[in-house]
Amino acid sequence: MIQTAPLTEWRVVGLQAVDLMIQADTVGADILPGVICALDAGLNDYTITERGDVGSLVRTQAIQCVQSMWKSTQTQIDAESRHLLEGNIIRLSLEKMDRVRLQAARCLKQDLNAKSVSDVDVTNHRPFNWRVLLSLVQKAHYKSNNIPRILAAVEVYQALAEKPTARADTLKKLVSMLRTNPYPKVRTAVAECLFLATGDQALKIIDWNKPSQAYNVPIDVRSRPVFYTFHKVLSNTAGTTIGTSPFSDSLKRRRKGAASALNKPSVASYVGHLDVETLAFVKEGLEYGAAGTQSVDPMPMIQRLSLSLALTLNWGTRLGSRNDPLFHEITEVEEEISKFRSTSGNMQDYVPFLRLNPFNAGSTRAREMRQRRDVYLTKLNKDLDDRMAKGTHKPCIQANVIQDKEAKLNKEELTSISLTMLSGGLDTVTTLVAWSIALLGQRPDIQEKAIREIRKTFSEDEMLCAPEDEMKCEYVMALVKECLRYYTVLRLALPRATVRDITYEGKLIPAGTTIYLNAWACNMDPAVWKDPEVFRPERWLEQPEAPLFTYGVGYRMCAGSLLANRELYLVFMRMLSCFEIEKGTEVETHPVKGSSDPTSLVSLPHRYEVKFRPRNEVKLREQITAKEKVLGEC
């Protein structure tokens, strides 16, 4: 009926109905041949009327049906039918009409990336081969300044690059595409992303701190690429964090200000703040968890710890309770903002014409978060200004920088430092502690080893451990580093951008190329570790000088790594010294399988519950009370 329907609209509606049937897994073997015929007809519908190529509406809907069919686990089609549909999709991925071509390219990429597709040479089993497909794709974008056409071609290239039999030719064509295309805007649109797969490659390709002597060219990757959603929509008013800013004189001033506040002597001066916040964390675990009799979600506790420390260090004000409305507002907004920083979660960053949609949900949401963030940033800054005017403010980063006559930072640069402190704690430290507690709840053996080592220095009469401890408990420090390695929270470190052309192994990497450090792969490098996929803290006692890529490398390495390590160490020491952590609810702790949102900037676990069972409740309560009294008198 679909093939014979006289009106285009009827054929589209018919295919929409077929799509719903496929998604509902109701296409049985008895009607499947008819569905295949209908899809074949739809993929070849080139009806032309006075309105133009109205058949493109049918072709687009038919492609959608094929996508649904390839996603379906119930709809089983024979090899001949699959070959028929694939041949049509390949042809459509190269046709003239942008809308159809892009939809077909996405469909083809989905099929090529499917687990059911073999990585062996399939030339003798498919009605096409990789070399012919590469040639056709190259013809589609060669010397073109049509952005949608190039993006469609790149999507096919990305899929083909994952196939061993096509990888070499694909990469060669991508390099050629970047070197020879005469149009600057095309080169910008298809800035090649180089994934550094292992730690060896990450260190070999570039000396991240100074010009390379090996290639006799200055290699500068200190900049960051600019993404539409985060940089141009979300950051339109308050600006960007230090970590996400392109290289400039302003960035150098901000990094200098942040570096002085986050160097080793400065971090040592923050021990008092760490003492207060980690004590509050332990007390909350004891009371919130009803002394281990009740399972609790630790995430709010972790968020309050990180957020309060960030507010204390940057504005000189604490956040004592997770019931504070400001806590809920900041954590909700910053969590959403983190999604906009993602390099893979915002399609409009890579497909420019999507930005023209007046109902674009991504841009609308980004503007909303920008406005809400501006409100609490303004309040925090105003409150600090008032305290400084009255002379009642406490020493903090913002006040120190404002009073530093040599810093010469403007309002936007001060805000950038503030945003850096907020996002750094809530994005990375919070996520790492969340993963770690989930794992410890399922690994009592690790807890037992840790408490034995802790008790060598701190007895049950010192369950809160001295905050001044210079990270001398080697096993706990090894545990912290193993959590940082195994749970690489930013699997793709924030991307960098080349400032000038680079030649690497005879290949040209043009200026403006985006370079990603695959920190996850670097931390899992089998050339460094014989058992990289095993969680084993002892590895850091065996190889204390082994590289750790979680904080990045080189000039744009995380400026707050010293503070983060000190905070994590004290959290782990006090938490393990005071509590046995028991599993409350089931949660997947594998760093890949357990990720709640693979497209997010940071890799978060699913929400879960644990029990914080005190090792000695009476002594713990006594020590908390005594510690609070001492801190109250300080």
User: What is the DSSP annotation of 351-371?
Assistant: -GGGGG-TT-HHHHHHHHHHH
Pure H helices in 181-298 = 184-189, 199-205, 249-262, 264-269, 271-288
544-593 confidence digits (pLDDT tens)? 888 888 888 777 778 888 889 999 999 999 999 999 999 999 999 999 89
Please name which of 125, 121, 149 lies closest in space to residue 137, comparing C-alpha atoms.
149
* 123 within a domain of the structure (yes/no): no
CA dihedral 365, 371, 374, 378 (to 10 degrees): -150
Give the pairing type, strands 496-497 and 514-517: antiparallel
- 139 and 112 fall within a common domain: no
Helices (H), 114-161: 130-141, 147-160
Query: In this structure, are 237 and 173 located in the same domain?
Result: no
Residue 553 region by backbone torsions, left for phi larger than 0, else alpha for psi between -120 and 50, else beta: beta
Structure tokens at 200: 């060896």
Tokens of 331: 């954590």
- As a whole number of angstroms, the distance between CA 229 and CA 597 comes to 19
Distance CA 486, CA 457 (A): 27
Task: Give the total number of structural domains in the chain.
Answer: 3
pLDDT for residue 565:
92
Residue 613: phi, psi to the nearest 5?
A: -90, 115
Question: Which CATH number does the domain housing residue 524 bear?
Answer: 1.10.630.10
Residue 597 domain-assigned (yes or no): yes
Domain extent, residue 91, equals: 1-117
Q: Which amino acid is at 382?
A: K
Helices (H), 519-616: 519-523, 539-542, 561-578
Residue 17 contacts by C-beta under 8 Å, 6 or more apart in sequence?
none
Whether 76 and 145 map to the same domain: the answer is no
Picking from 396, 394, 398, the residue whose alpha carbon sits closest to that of residue 417 is 398
- Cα 206 to Cα 427: distance, rounded to the nearest angstrom: 27
Close Cβ partners of 227 (under 8 Å, ≥ 6 residues apart): 343, 346, 349
DSSP 290: G
Query: In Å, how far are 222, 428, 499 from 555, measured between CA atoms?
Result: 6, 19, 14
Rounded Cα distance, 169 and 191, in Å: 18
Rounded CA-CA distance 627/210 in Å is 48
Q: Does 483 appear as a known binding residue?
A: no
Q: What is the DSSP letter of 208?
A: S
Establish if 317 belongs to a structural domain: yes
Q: Which long-range contacts (CB under 8 A, 24 or more apart) does 26-35 make?
A: 27/69, 27/72, 27/74, 27/75, 29/76, 32/75, 32/77, 32/81, 33/81
493 within 8 A of 517, measured Cβ to Cβ: yes
- Please give the biggest Cα pair distance in the chain: 88
> Of 72, 87, 117, which one is at a domain's C-terminal end?
117
Buried b (16+ CB within 10 A) or exposed e, 324-352: eeebeebbebbbbbbbbbbbebbebbbbe
The dihedrals phi and psi of 13, each to the nearest 5 degrees, come to -60, -40
Q: Using CA atoms in the order 104, 108, 109, 114, what is the torsion angle rounded to 10 degrees?
A: 140
**Cα torsion 330, 333, 338, 341: sign:** negative
Domain final residue, candidates 190, 221, 238: 190
In-domain check, residue 268? yes
**Residue 511 shares a structural domain with residue 619:** yes
565 lies in the same domain as 592: yes
Radius of gyration of the chain (CA): 28
Is the same domain home to 450 and 596? yes
Query: Which residue reads 């089931």 in tokens?
Result: 586
* The domain boundary residue, chosen from 91, 117, 143: 117
* Angle of CA points 596, 540, 548, to nearest 5°: 55
Token match 């907020």: residue?
A: 422
- Is residue 532 one of the residues assigned to a domain? yes
Tokens of 457: 């220095």
Cβ neighbours for 420, distance < 8 A, ≥ 6 positions apart: 241, 242, 243, 258, 559, 560
Distance, first Cα to last Cα, the chain = 83
- Same structural domain for residues 88 and 161? no
Name the DSSP class of 427.
Answer: I
**Is 212 a member of any domain?**
no
By residue count, the chain amounts to 634
Which tokens in the block code for residue 54? 């109205």
252 & 175 share domain: no
Determine, yes or no, domain membership for 202.
no
User: In this structure, are 351 and 373 located in the same domain?
Assistant: yes
Q: Is residue 199 within 8 Å of residue 527, measured between CB atoms? A: yes
Residue with tokens 């009476």: 618
**Same domain, residue pair 424 and 523:** yes
Residue 563 lies in a domain: yes
Q: Which residue has the tokens 């539409």?
A: 228
Residue ranges in the chain whose pLDDT is less than 70: 1-6, 73-75, 113-132, 134, 138, 140-152, 154-155, 158-168, 171-221, 228-239, 243, 345-346, 350, 353, 358-359, 405-407, 505, 633-634
Same domain, 623 and 592: yes
> 236 and 349 share a domain?
yes
